[in-house]
Amino acid sequence: MRTTEHRVSVAEGIDLWVEERGNPAAPPLLLVMGANAGALGWPEELVDLLAARHRVIRYDHRDTGRSTAAYDRAPYAIRDLAADAVAVLDGLGIDRAHVVGMSMGGTLVQLLLLDAPYRLRSATVLATSALGAGLADVAGTGALPGPAPELLAYWQTMGADRDREAELDWRVEHWRLLSGSALPFDAAWYRAQEERAMAHAGTVASPVAHALADQSGLDRGAELAGVRVPTLVVEAPEDPVNPPPHAEHLAATIGGARLVTVPGMGHALPPVVHGQLAAAVTAHTAAADAGTTVG
Q: Which residues form the catalytic set? A: 103, 239, 267
Measured CA to CA, the distance from residue 132 to residue 29 in angstroms comes to: 26
Backbone angles phi, psi at 163, to 5 degrees: -80, 175
Judged by DSSP in three states, 154 sits in helix
CA–CA separation, 79 vs 213, rounded Å? 9
How many angstroms separate the CA atoms of 83 and 116, rounded?
9
Can you say whether the dihedral through the CA atoms of 219, 224, 230, 236 is positive or negative? positive
Q: Is the dihedral of CA 97, 102, 108, 109 positive or negative?
A: positive
In this structure, are strands 14-21 and 3-11 parallel, antiparallel, or unpaired?
A: antiparallel
Rounded to the nearest angstrom, the gap between the alpha carbon of residue 61 and the centroid of all alpha carbons in its chain is 10
H or E element, residue 6:
strand 3-11
Residue 209 near residue 77 (C-beta atoms within 8 A): no
Task: Spell out the residues 6+ positions from residue 110 whose beta carbon is closer than 8 angstroms to its own.
Answer: 101, 125, 128, 130, 131, 220, 224, 254
DSSP string, 28-93: EEEEE--TT--GGGS-HHHHHHHHTTSEEEEEPPTTSTTS---TTTS--BHHHHHHHHHHHHHHTT
Residue 55: phi and psi, rounded to 5, are -85, 100
